[in-house]
Structure 1
Amino acid sequence: MGSASAVSVRGWLLYGAMALLWGIPYLFIKEAVDSYSPPAIVAGRTLLGALVLLPLALHRRALGPALRAWPWVLAFGAIEMAGPFVLLGHAEQTLSSGLTGLLVATVPLFAALIALLRGDRGVLSRWRSVGLGIGFVGVAVIVMGPGLAVADPSRALVAIAEVLLVAVLYAIAPFIIATALKDVPSIGTITLALLMVGAVYLPIGLLTQHEVPTLRSTLSLVALGILCTAVAFLGFFALIREVGPVQAPLFTYVNPIVAILLGVVMLGEPLSAGLVLGFPLVVLGCWLAATGGRLRRRPLAADALPPV
C-alpha cells in the first residue's frame, strides 16, 4: 500500500468501509438462508442492488455500451454473481460464516494460478511461489485440522468444495472485465449483470421458496442487496478513483478478519483449532502470491474487481 502518507484521509475511510462492506456478506448470507432458499437470496440480492444502481447507470449513460456487449456482460454476471451467490448460500447452510469468508479469501491464490496459465511468468517469482504453497497449506490445515465443528463431515467437505469453487470463479471474472469489457463503463456492466442474473433467478427463487421468510432473514437479504452489493460497488469505484486500481484491492486481506469476528460475536460460531492455525497461513499466502512480498505491487488483471 506504500507509505501511509500516500493515502488520503478519504482513502483510509474508504478502505475501512470496503473492509466492512465486503467482510459482512457472509454474516448476512448465514442469516438469510435460515428462511430463504439460496436461489431466492440471489434473486433478491441482485435485483435490489440493480434497482439502487440503475438511476446512476442511466444518469451516466452507461447502459448503452453494456447492452452492446451483453454476451460478455452475461458471462461476467454468471461467473461473478449467479454461480458464486447461490453456491455461497448453499454452502452456508453447513459452514460457519467465518470459515466461508476465509475460504473465499483464497481468490488471490487462484488468480495467480490463472495468470500463470495465461502466460504471466511473473507469478513464478520466488515469493509468489512460496505464497501459493503457504496459502494452500493453510486451506488444508483448516479443512483437515482439528475442531472443525460440523454435524456431517461429508456434507462439510462438499460445502468447502463449493466455496473454493466460488473463489475460482471470483478469480476468473476480473479477467473478463480486463479484456472483453475493458472499454465498457463499470457501472453499466455491474448494473446490467445484476439485472440479468436477477431476472434469471427470480422464477427459480419463487419456485424454491417453500416457507414464510422471517423478519430477520428478510432484513439480512435487504442488507445484502443494498449494502453489500450496490453501496459496496459504489464504494469500490470511489476507492479506485482515490488510490488507483493497484492499491484499491488491498482491503480484501482484512475481509476474512471481519467475517470471522462477526461470526464469533454475532452468531456465536466456534473458533476451531484448524481455523486458528490455518487463518494466518491463508492470509500470508494470499498476500505473498498477490504482491510478491512487495508493499507496492505491479498491476495484475485480477486486480480489476475483487470478490464480493
Structure 2
Amino acid sequence: MSGVPGRTYAGIRVGVLALLWGSTFLWIKLALDGLSPVQVTLVRCALGTLTLTVLLFGGRRRLPQGGATWRHIVVAAFFCNALPFGLFSVGEQTVDSGVAGVLNATTPLWSVLIGLAIGTERGLRPVRLAGLLLGFAGVLLIFAPWQQSGLASWGALAIVGAAGSYAVGFAYMGQHLVGKGIPTISLSTAQLLAATGLTTLMVPVGGLETVHVHPKALIAVVVLGVFATGITFHLTYRVIADEGATNAATVGYLLPVVSVGLGAVVLDEAFSLRVAAGMVVVLVGVGMTRRQKRAAAPEIMQNPEGGDPRIVEAQHAEQHAEQDAEQDAVK
C-alpha cells in the first residue's frame, strides 16, 4: 500500500494506537471504582497475558527457553510491568487520569539520567541537556509544590515513580534481553506472565479487599487488560514491521493529549491553564531529549514513546523482522 491511501491508512493506525495507549489511564481510573490497585494490576496483567498467549500460539511461537533468560525476564517484568502498573493504580486514586498521562511522559527524561549513570549516554549535547532541564521544569509546574493544595501528593509521586521504573526496566532490557534473537512476541508474553506471578505475590497485602462488581469497573478492567495491554502490543509490532520504529515512536507524543482529553470529556476532570502549560513544557522537553544522532543504536534503551514498554519491544521486532521471516519460511 503506497501513496495517499497508504499514508491515510498509516495515519488511522497511528491514531488507533494513540487512542488505545492514551486511554489506559482512563480505564485504570474507572476500574478503581470497583477494585483495589493490586486487583486492577493483577487482572490487567492476567488478561494481557491471556491475550498475548493466544497471539503467541496462533503465530506458532513458543515461550523463551533457559533459566538465565527467564531470570532477566522476571527482572524486566518487575520494573516494566508489575511495579509501574501498580504505582499507576495507586497514584490514580488521588490524581486525575489526564495528569497521570502527562507525568507518564517523563520516562524519557529519567532514561537519559539513567543512561548517563550506567554509561550508555556519552554525554549530552546542549539541546538534549536543555530538553532535560525543561522537562523537569514542566513536571515542577504540574506539581505546583508552592501550592498547599497542589498535585505534590503521594499519588503524584507514585506516578512519577512509575515513569522512573519504566526507565530502569528499559535500560535493563537493553542490556540483557533486546537483540538476543528471541522473537518479540515471545518476550512480551513471557514478561506479562512473569508480571502476573509477581503481582499475585502482592494479593495478601492489598488484593483481598472486597470487590464491588458493577458494569463500569468490570468493562474498564477488561478493556484495560485485553486492549490497552494485550492487543496494543500486537498493533505496535505491525507498525514497526510496516513503517519502522521511528513512526511508531511518534505515537508516544500523542498519549498525554489523549489522556488529558479523555479525562476532561469522560470524567469531567479539571484542566487548569497551569497544568496545560506544564504539559506543553514536558512534551517540548521530551522532544528535545529525543534529538540525537541516528547512528546511536544503543539509544533503544531510552523510551521514545514516553512511558510504555511496548515501544522498546517494538524496536526489537524491527531488528528481528527478517530473522523471523526466515524462520517462518523454514517452517
- Give the TM-score normalised by the residue count of structure 2: 0.82
Q: Tell me how far apart the structure 1 counterparts of residues 8 and 245 of structure 2 sit (CA, whole Å).
A: 18
Say which of 172, 175, 193 aligns to 1:176.
172
- Contact 1:130 1:285 (C-alpha < 8 Å) held by counterparts: yes
**Aligned residue number for residue 201 of structure 1:** 199
The secondary structure found in structure 1 opposite 2:29 is helix
**Aligned residue number for residue 185 of structure 2:** 187
Kindly provide the amino acid, as one letter, of the partner of residue 178 in structure 1.
G
- Pairwise CA RMSD of aligned residues? 2.6
The secondary structure found in structure 1 opposite 2:189 is helix
The secondary structure found in structure 1 opposite 2:245 is coil
The secondary structure found in structure 2 opposite 1:163 is helix
Q: Cα distance, 1:231 vs. partner?
A: 0.7
**Aligned residue number for residue 85 of structure 2:** 85
Q: How many residues align?
A: 298
Q: Cα distance, 1:122 vs. partner?
A: 5.0
The secondary structure found in structure 2 opposite 1:16 is helix
Which moves more between the two structures, 208-217 or 90-99? 208-217
**Aligned residue number for residue 64 of structure 1:** 64
Q: 1:242 to 1:9 in 2, by over 3 A?
A: farther
Q: Cα distance, 1:10 vs. partner?
A: 4.0
- Contact 1:246 1:303 (C-alpha < 8 Å) held by counterparts: no
What 5-or-longer segments of structure 1 have no aligned partner?
none
Q: 1:72 to 1:55 in 2, by over 3 A?
A: same
Q: 1:14 to 1:291 in 2, by over 3 A?
A: farther
Kindly provide the amino acid, as one letter, of the partner of residue 63 in structure 1.
L
**Aligned residue number for residue 35 of structure 2:** 36
- Contact 1:128 1:290 (C-alpha < 8 Å) held by counterparts: yes
Cα deviation code 1:24-66 (max 9, x no counterpart): 0000001111110111111111111111111222343230347
**Aligned residue number for residue 15 of structure 1:** 14
Q: Tell me how far apart the structure 1 counterparts of residues 9 and 302 of structure 2 sit (CA, whole Å).
A: 21
Higher RCO (Cα < 8 Å, 6 or more apart)? 1
Kindly provide the amino acid, as one letter, of the partner of residue 158 in structure 1.
W
- Give the TM-score normalised by the residue count of structure 1: 0.88
- Contact 2:44 2:222 (C-alpha < 8 Å) held by counterparts: yes
Kindly provide the amino acid, as one letter, of the partner of residue 192 in structure 1.
A
Q: Tell me how far apart the structure 2 counterparts of residues 119 and 202 of structure 1 sit (CA, whole Å).
A: 35
- Contact 1:123 1:289 (C-alpha < 8 Å) held by counterparts: no
What 5-or-longer segments of structure 2 have no aligned partner?
309-331
Q: Cα distance, 1:86 vs. partner?
A: 0.8
- Contact 1:132 1:285 (C-alpha < 8 Å) held by counterparts: yes
Q: Tell me how far apart the structure 2 counterparts of residues 66 and 169 of structure 1 sit (CA, whole Å).
A: 25
